[in-house]
Structure 1
Amino acid sequence: MLKQNLQQKLLQKLSPQQIQFIKLLQVPTVSLDTRIKEELEENPALEDFSLTNMSEPEEQYPDRDPDEDNYSSDDDMGGSDEFNIDDYLQEDNVNDYGSRYDQNGDDDEDRKEIPIAVQSSFFENLQSQLDLLPLTEKDFRIGQQIIGSLDDDGYLRRPITSLTDDLAFSQNVMAEDEEVEEMLKVIQTFDPAGVGARTLQECLLIQLRKKDANDPVIKKAIIVVEDYLDEFTRKHYDKLEKVLNMDSMELRAVVSEILKLNPKPGDSNEVNTKQMQVIPDFHITNNDGTLVLTLNAKNAPELRVSRSYQDMFEHYDKASQKDKKLKEAVQFVKQKLDSAKWFIDAIKQRQQTLLKTMNAIMHYQYDFFLTGDEKNLKPMILKDIADKIGMDISTVSRVANSKYVQTEYGTFLLKSFFSEAIQTESGEEVSNKEVKKILEEHIGKEDKRHPLADEKLTEILKDAGYNIARRTVAKYREQMNIPVARLRKEL
């Protein structure tokens, strides 16, 4: 049965401008340049003023205010390189403009792309080694199937019977398990050493057996990996010395040899050029005891709205007669102008928000930025900064999670300055970063033959006035990626 009723709802929706600002705010400096270039390519009404005026003398603009509205000025925005408006309106279809712009606006002489180093991938390297072997067609296809079944670490995680079934169903190759096993042994002779192993133990043994078989250290290392790998990983060195009848010097040499092996041979040939470069968003300098904050110049591009687009819109908007084609053109131009203005406003708002947030963080952690000593970090949570600048916690979080600041003592992620508070015996609140620093110092100075257990570390902190539980010590140790005492033991 259908019913009608009235209902009141309070909804909060983000405008397109707000969504654009949120997306821009969380973009780090290293990616901002790419984002701006994308916008410049998509919106011909938007110009990079620094690029369009590179060839003109700087003295022509001595009084130009860099903070003035980029789209409200009537001067210095024209250019001889703008496309002809009449030619644009003579085109058959306004909607085709984007594709024509992409095709014709590409100048090979002006495009300067960064060369990318070409390097064979892990699987291409294995395939090239397989191609060099004198194999029958059947063995070659079995080898291809094995290589294609390896994971990124270089291991064969699938059982041989599964490979045999795949060969039969997908490639119509009838092979026995023994044939696949034999071909796997061939793959295991390839570089990098250890590839094609099915377990960590097999991977290490393959690498050791490729070394000098007459070396006594290698012989003992093979025995350790083959028969006592569990004791080795648990660092039960006393038991190994007793069982293998070795002194500490001999065992140290064996352990050193095993630690040189690569547990993930698939990683050894990977290209690491895609790691993101860290570019600081802020710079803090110490000027005779006074901290000075500056924003990276890449966060403040000189963007302007195209003067030709403004003239085009004003001219045809005032036209007495407007046919359908002209109305579509005017609507398109207005959309591009509005989009350009929104983007420029979002960039400006981004700059203001970044500076406002970082300035509050700098003053909150003033002692740290003066000295660089982590013990001077105050307890600080997102709400503390949000209350100071009068913004939402989510805004501060977007800034802190992806932005870096360069200081005299290194480059830091803003997120690293936020920490919980811990109360000392005297009632003073200190940052948990201070406790972590003390833990790190004591673990760094410990006797590695007898490393400090969490209980002992808890006693040390209590003696220093930090009354925290052992489980909290364990939590901080894990956050710093420090293993338990047993795994820190060394010979």
Structure 2
Amino acid sequence: MLKQQLNFKLSQKLSPQQIQLMKLIQLPTQAFEQRVKQELEENPALDSGKESTDEYEDEFKNEEMESDSEIIETESEIDVDEYLSDDEIPSYRTQANNYSKDDDEKSIPYASGISFSQHLKTQLQTFRLDEEEKKIAEFLVGSVDESGYIRRETSDIVDDLAFTQNIYTDEETVEKVFKLVHELDPAGVGARSLQECLLIQLKRREATPLVELSIDMMENAFEQFSKRHYQKLISKFNITEDQLREVIDEISHLNPKPGGSYSTNTRIVEHVVPDFTIKIKDGELELTLNGRNAPTMHVSREYNNMLKGYKESKEKSKKQKDAVMFIKQKLDSAKWFIEAIRQRQETLFVTMNAIMHHQYEYFMTGDERDLNPMILKDIAEKIDMDVSTVSRVANSKYVDTPYGTKLIKEFFSESMTNDQGEEVSTLEIKKILEMSIEDEDKKKPLTDDKLAKVLKEKGYPIARRTVAKYREQLDIPVARLRKEI
């Protein structure tokens, strides 16, 4: 049975203004500049002035920001409510309050130059091919990925040619065209596996005993070579350690990703602009916010005067009322945007300042072993803000330090207790693990069990599986693949 009833429920929702402010906080410097430019274009009641070079003072030194460094100029409050409808509200207050990162528009420049695929197609013109072979070759070239490989089975390619290109052929013909594609530059392009890629490059080299041995090893013992079973290779090919070392050196000079060297011409061009700068001045840390985050903006005096003129006029037509409602809406929007920029600047500075003081030892020395354990909650409690706000600042902002430009979120890490009962950062443990692997005997690299024992001896009692996890995060292979002769 259906029935209707009334239920009262309390719930918390973010206002549109709060959502817009969070979006502004999330933006890095370059994206923020674009957002300001967009607002200036859309709102004629908003004017910009000269760029500010003022800096914030350090509140952690119990110093307040000076009032004369205020970067926002606002006009006096406008009181014309008697002429406006109670229903009149600025457009930014009626915008949807549900959004995600995917909603943000992203405009990224691309480098100029011909594509990798076009570069390969141009080379095909130097071959004598019949119409069918030409179409198959162009299809194969179009299937080459960024690394320079064609990662598809020949049978699948035959089927695709029939269904998508209306070309009915067989595997033998496709294999024949594959050999032509393998003659293209860069050497190794069009390979279907790493083994084939290396063989294509070796076969283009001058036929010396070393190259012939390398080809033999790649053709008949590729798996043993890739897994570094060196003793088995020495026994199988009846060679010395020196000869094997020469083969390894020969193969290590080949390019495992032949498309990588060319694809850089068409990759996305990304420029990192630091949002903050930390310097060591007179033995103390000095934090500054990038001046591009602090544009000078003010409410248009012209629009303000138009509203005042309306208020002082004796006769008010409906057309004038409609115009003043538009003006009031734009003025409200302009004043809100100015205030949002001020809050953004303050939030960014306060958050980064707290991070800087939490990681004081690191910023003074640059040694990653001095990084303290730090999670979002630690900073949120220090600055009395929500964890989500700290996350928005940390995830997309960079800081220029004396030791290079760093992504702020890299300073965050979990903690663990060492044998002295002290809380240490997992970043510190990873650094010591990395140093231990660098110092190992490469002829007998340390297994994860042995690395766990080494770390325990240094005061970090962690399990073997934790060592394996940290090693993988550092992109370091297992002991067998680190072995050298």
TM-score normalised per structure 2: 0.83
Task: Report the secondary structure of 2:399's partner residue.
Answer: strand
Match of 1:125 in 2: 119
Q: Is the 8 A contact 2:110 2:268 kept in 1?
A: no
Q: Is the 8 A contact 1:309 1:333 kept in 2?
A: yes
Would you say how many aligned residue pairs link Structure 1 and Structure 2?
439
Q: 2:260 aligned with 1:267, yes or no? A: yes
Match of 1:293 in 2: 287
Q: Is the 8 A contact 1:317 1:330 kept in 2?
A: no
Letter in 1 for 2:25: L
Alpha-carbon distance between aligned partners in 2 of 1:165 and 1:441, rounded to the nearest angstrom: 52
Q: 2:437 aligned with 1:443, yes or no? A: yes
| Aligned counterpart in structure 2 of residue 198 of structure 1, from 188, 192, 196 | 192
Q: CA deviation at 1:73?
A: 6.9
Letter in 1 for 2:20: Q
TM-score normalised per structure 1: 0.82
| Aligned counterpart in structure 1 of residue 316 of structure 2, from 317, 321, 325 | 321
Alpha-carbon distance between aligned partners in 2 of 1:68 and 1:150, rounded to the nearest angstrom: 53
Match of 2:102 in 1: none
Match of 2:33 in 1: 33
| CA deviation vs aligned residue, 1:337-381 (integer Å, no higher than 9, x gap) | 333322222221111011111111122222222222223222221
Unaligned runs of 5+ in 2: 52-66, 78-107
Letter in 1 for 2:11: L
Q: Is the 8 A contact 2:113 2:266 kept in 1?
A: no
Q: Is the 8 A contact 1:404 1:414 kept in 2?
A: yes
Match of 2:467 in 1: 473
Task: Report the secondary structure of 1:304's partner residue.
Answer: strand
Q: CA deviation at 1:295?
A: 1.0
Alpha-carbon distance between aligned partners in 1 of 2:127 and 2:317, rounded to the nearest angstrom: 74
Return 265-274 or 353-362, whichever deviates more.
Answer: 265-274
Unaligned runs of 5+ in 1: 52-63, 75-113
Q: Which has the higher contact order (CA 8 A, sep 6+)?
A: 2
| Aligned counterpart in structure 1 of residue 75 of structure 2, from 72, 75, 91 | 72
Match of 1:233 in 2: 226
In structure 2, the CA distance between the partners of 1:244 and 1:338, relative to structure 1 (3 Å rule), is farther
The percent identity for this pair of structures is 54
Match of 1:249 in 2: 242
Q: 2:8 aligned with 1:8, yes or no? A: yes
Q: CA deviation at 1:249?
A: 2.0
Q: Is the 8 A contact 2:71 2:294 kept in 1?
A: no
| Aligned counterpart in structure 1 of residue 330 of structure 2, from 320, 336, 359 | 336
Q: CA deviation at 1:388?
A: 0.8
Match of 1:44 in 2: 44
Q: Is the 8 A contact 1:375 1:434 kept in 2?
A: yes
In structure 2, the CA distance between the partners of 1:430 and 1:168, relative to structure 1 (3 Å rule), is closer
Letter in 1 for 2:249: S
Match of 1:279 in 2: 273
Q: CA deviation at 1:418?
A: 1.7
Q: CA deviation at 1:268?
A: 2.4
Q: Is the 8 A contact 1:354 1:399 kept in 2?
A: yes
In structure 2, the CA distance between the partners of 1:356 and 1:162, relative to structure 1 (3 Å rule), is same
Q: CA deviation at 1:434?
A: 2.1
Letter in 1 for 2:213: K
Letter in 2 for 1:70: E
Match of 1:86 in 2: none
Return 217-226 or 269-278, whichever deviates more.
Answer: 269-278
Letter in 1 for 2:316: Q
| CA deviation vs aligned residue, 1:213-253 (integer Å, no higher than 9, x gap) | x2222111111211111111111112112211222222122
Q: 2:136 aligned with 1:142, yes or no? A: yes
In structure 2, the CA distance between the partners of 1:345 and 1:161, relative to structure 1 (3 Å rule), is same
Q: CA deviation at 1:318?
A: 6.1
Alpha-carbon distance between aligned partners in 1 of 2:115 and 2:475, rounded to the nearest angstrom: 30
Letter in 1 for 2:262: N
Alpha-carbon distance between aligned partners in 2 of 1:158 and 1:468, rounded to the nearest angstrom: 43
Structure 1 moving runs of 4+ over 6 Å: none
Task: Report the secondary structure of 1:280's partner residue.
Answer: coil
In structure 2, the CA distance between the partners of 1:248 and 1:423, relative to structure 1 (3 Å rule), is same
Q: Is the 8 A contact 2:373 2:423 kept in 1?
A: yes
| Aligned counterpart in structure 2 of residue 359 of structure 1, from 345, 353, 358 | 353
Alpha-carbon distance between aligned partners in 2 of 1:193 and 1:245, rounded to the nearest angstrom: 30
Letter in 2 for 1:219: E
| Aligned counterpart in structure 1 of residue 154 of structure 2, from 154, 160, 174 | 160
Return 275-284 or 224-233, whichever deviates more.
Answer: 275-284
Alpha-carbon distance between aligned partners in 2 of 1:318 and 1:133, rounded to the nearest angstrom: 83
Q: Is the 8 A contact 1:20 1:343 kept in 2?
A: no
Q: CA deviation at 1:66?
A: 4.8
In structure 2, the CA distance between the partners of 1:158 and 1:378, relative to structure 1 (3 Å rule), is closer
Alpha-carbon distance between aligned partners in 2 of 1:453 and 1:161, rounded to the nearest angstrom: 42
In structure 2, the CA distance between the partners of 1:368 and 1:170, relative to structure 1 (3 Å rule), is closer
Letter in 2 for 1:310: N
Task: Report the secondary structure of 1:401's partner residue.
Answer: helix
Q: CA deviation at 1:329?
A: 4.1
Letter in 1 for 2:362: F
Q: Is the 8 A contact 1:405 1:411 kept in 2?
A: yes
Q: CA deviation at 1:477?
A: 1.7
In structure 2, the CA distance between the partners of 1:158 and 1:490, relative to structure 1 (3 Å rule), is same
In structure 2, the CA distance between the partners of 1:116 and 1:399, relative to structure 1 (3 Å rule), is closer
In structure 2, the CA distance between the partners of 1:162 and 1:411, relative to structure 1 (3 Å rule), is closer
Task: Report the secondary structure of 2:286's partner residue.
Answer: strand
Alpha-carbon distance between aligned partners in 2 of 1:146 and 1:305, rounded to the nearest angstrom: 60
Q: Is the 8 A contact 1:152 1:266 kept in 2?
A: yes
Letter in 1 for 2:334: A
Match of 2:396 in 1: 402
Match of 1:460 in 2: 454
